[in-house]
């Protein structure tokens, strides 16, 4: 069964050879979907016939957003902590412990219901692929459980046993790293595609460069791809470690020295920026312009989590990236689609070429520019074809 999508005022392909600019924009476009993939795209007047038609009536169509960084398996919430931050309290990751307690206390069904509700919330805002991390269990069983649940909703699952040192290991960080790189990794790897670590020597709760290296190398030996939380609270070793080890992405990148930017520019690691964190921790935003000027591949993601960024909205992140981080609307939309796909090393999503997955997002607006031009307005939704 093939479907011809018509009435597309503006089609973002992310293929510069198909249309205008880096987004490869085709005006007055049509698109054919067959067997879950793009079969044809081009100007509407050249569209072939198909089994059925779907008229989007003058709306813009984009590749679905790829949210390459989210923590969706958790119990409880931290609205009170957020309120305290808005009154001046600093964020240092210490609140993660309260989510760990609530997550351990939650049943599978409670965690699953929350996870599914958040994925649905994302889809309703245009996200068609989401990465989901563990990291609020921090025991062998609780981490494996989080990943098993995450696997029910996405293939992009990430083992983040090295999120923080849990309370029962206080003062015994090395012992915890041994657990994470040994039996916990062994129990979690069957449900994970990626390993991640909160590399942040500036946080008393997270991990320094040596511990982070140990976690990443162990994950790699277990067959996992590498991702890093780095340089969120202060400059540190995270970014250069990620590039050295060939991680797919280093996320946050809020505090960078020139050597970090140079390393990213010379490597294959994507810099994923998470403006929801700066918004929700009242911190200075990362400088996307500096990275783009150096030729670094920049992705945008929500970091949806109950502590530092409880938003599921890629459009909100796009608007912040444009207003606060020096990105153009075109760069921000690319970062939220093709950038996210690059951060997950996926060639089948994040663009709309022939053969790509038919993951479409439609806007109640005629142009992608409206995502930043009309902040906070619910314009985007994933299109059910």
Contacting residues toward ligand NIG, per CB under 6 A? 93, 95-96, 99, 198, 229, 232, 277, 303, 305-308
Q: Which is nearer to ligand NIG, 181 or 311 (CB)?
A: 311
Minimum distance between the CB of residue 30 and Fe ion, rounded to whole angstroms?
39
Q: Which of Fe ion, ligand NIG, none does residue 231 bind to, with CB < 5 to 8 Å depending on kind?
A: none
Minimum distance between the CB of residue 114 and ligand NIG, rounded to whole angstroms?
14
Q: Which of ligand NIG, Fe ion, none does residue 134 bind to, with CB < 5 to 8 Å depending on kind?
A: none
Q: Rounded distance, CA 233 to CA 202, Å?
A: 7
Cα 295 from chain centroid (whole Å): 20
Minimum distance between the CB of residue 250 and ligand NIG, rounded to whole angstroms?
12
From residue 254 to residue 293, the character string flagging contacts with Fe ion as x (rule: CB under 5 A) and all else as - is ----------------------------------------
Q: Which is nearer to ligand NIG, 193 or 254 (CB)?
A: 254
Q: What is the dihedral of CA 21, 23, 27, 33, to 10 degrees?
A: 150
Q: Rounded distance, CA 165 to CA 173, Å?
A: 6
Minimum distance between the CB of residue 373 and Fe ion, rounded to whole angstroms?
28
For residue 169, the tally of other CB atoms under 10 A from its CB is 17
Minimum distance between the CB of residue 99 and ligand NIG, rounded to whole angstroms?
5
Q: Which of 250, 249, 143 is closest to 189 using CA atoms?
A: 143
Rg (alpha carbons) of the chain, rounded to whole number: 20
Burial class (CB in 10 A: 0-12, 13-18, 19+), 94: middle
Q: Which is nearer to ligand NIG, 95 or 137 (CB)?
A: 95
Minimum distance between the CB of residue 93 and ligand NIG, rounded to whole angstroms?
6
Residue 275 C-beta-side C-alpha neighbours within 13 Å? 24
Q: Which is nearer to ligand NIG, 96 or 362 (CB)?
A: 96
For residue 163, the tally of other CB atoms under 10 A from its CB is 28
Cα 230 from chain centroid (whole Å): 14
**Binding piece for Fe ion, criterion CB under 5 A, among 18-26, 34-42, 150-158, 299-307:** 299-307
Q: Which is nearer to ligand NIG, 9 or 96 (CB)?
A: 96
Under rule CB under 5 A, residue 303 binds Fe ion: yes
Q: Which of Fe ion, ligand NIG, none does residue 340 bind to, with CB < 5 to 8 Å depending on kind?
A: none
Q: Which of ligand NIG, Fe ion, none does residue 307 bind to, with CB < 5 to 8 Å depending on kind?
A: ligand NIG
Instruction: Look up residue 328 and give its two tokens.
Output: 């153009």
Q: Rounded distance, CA 303 to CA 276, Å?
A: 7
Q: Which is nearer to ligand NIG, 96 or 247 (CB)?
A: 96
**Binding piece for Fe ion, criterion CB under 5 A, among 49-57, 102-110, 181-189, 297-305:** 297-305
Name the residue whose CB lies closest to ligand NIG. 307
How far is the first Cα of the chain from the last one, in angstroms, to the nearest whole number? 11
For residue 205, the tally of other CB atoms under 10 A from its CB is 18
Cα 291 from chain centroid (whole Å): 18
Beta strand 157-162 with 52-63 is unpaired
Q: Which is nearer to ligand NIG, 159 or 198 (CB)?
A: 198
Report residue 150: phi and psi, to 5°.
-60, -40
Q: Which is nearer to ligand NIG, 136 or 368 (CB)?
A: 136
Q: What does 318-349 look like in DSSP terms, one character per residue?
A: HHHHHHHS---HHHHHHIIIIIHHHHTT-SSS
Q: Which is nearer to Fe ion, 196 or 331 (CB)?
A: 196
Minimum distance between the CB of residue 157 and Fe ion, rounded to whole angstroms?
14
Minimum distance between the CB of residue 198 and ligand NIG, rounded to whole angstroms?
5
Residue 314: its H or E element: helix 314-324
The neighbouring-strand residues paired with 31 are: 5, 41
Contact present, 93 and 205 (Cβ < 8 Å): yes
Minimum distance between the CB of residue 60 and Fe ion, rounded to whole angstroms?
29
Q: Which of Fe ion, ligand NIG, none does residue 96 bind to, with CB < 5 to 8 Å depending on kind?
A: ligand NIG
Which spans of this chain sit near Fe ion (rule: CB under 5 A)? 303
């Amino acid at each position: 069964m093939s479907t011809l999508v018509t009435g597309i005022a503006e089609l973002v392909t992310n293929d510069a050879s198909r249309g205008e600019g880096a987004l490869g924009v085709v005006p007055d476009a049509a698109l054919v979907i067959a067997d879950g993939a793009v079969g044809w795209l081009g100007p509407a007047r050249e569209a072939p016939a198909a089994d059925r038609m779907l008229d989007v009536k003058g709306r813009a169509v984009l590749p679905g957003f790829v949210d390459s960084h989210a923590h969706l398996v958790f119990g409880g919430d931290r609205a009170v902590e957020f309120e305290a931050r808005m009154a001046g309290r600093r964020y240092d990751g210490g609140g993660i412990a309260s989510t760990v307690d609530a997550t351990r206390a939650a049943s599978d069904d409670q965690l699953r219901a929350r996870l599914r509700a958040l994925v649905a919330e994302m889809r309703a805002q245009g996200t068609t692929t989401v990465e989901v991390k563990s990291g609020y269990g921090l025991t062998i069983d609780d981490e494996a459980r989080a990943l098993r649940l995450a696997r029910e909703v996405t293939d992009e699952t990430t083992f983040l046993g090295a999120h923080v040192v849990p309370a029962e290991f206080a003062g015994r960080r090395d012992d915890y790293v041994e657990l994470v790189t040994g039996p916990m990794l062994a129990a979690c790897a069957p449900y994970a595609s990626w390993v991640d670590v909160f590399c942040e020597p500036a946080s008393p709760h997270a991990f320094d460069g040596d511990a982070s290296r140990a976690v990443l190398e162990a994950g790699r030996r277990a067959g996992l791809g590498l991702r890093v939380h780095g340089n969120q609270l202060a400059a540190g070793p995270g970014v250069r470690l990620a590039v050295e080890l060939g991680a797919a992405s280093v996320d946050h990148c809020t505090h960078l020295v020139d050597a970090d930017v140079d390393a990213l520019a010379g490597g294959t690691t994507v810099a994923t920026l998470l403006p929801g964190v700066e918004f929700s921790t009242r911190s200075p935003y990362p400088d996307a312009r500096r990275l783009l000027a150096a030729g670094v591949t920049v992705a945008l993601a929500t970091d949806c989590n109950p502590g530092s960024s409880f938003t599921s909205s890629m459009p909100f992140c796009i608007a912040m990236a444009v207003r606060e981080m020096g990105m153009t609307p075109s760069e921000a939309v690319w970062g939220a689609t093709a950038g996210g796909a690059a951060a997950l090393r996926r060639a089948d999503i994040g663009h709309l070429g022939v053969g790509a997955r038919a993951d479409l997002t439609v806007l109640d607006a005629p142009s992608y520019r409206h995502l930043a031009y009309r902040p906070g307005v619910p314009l985007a939704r994933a299109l059910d074809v």
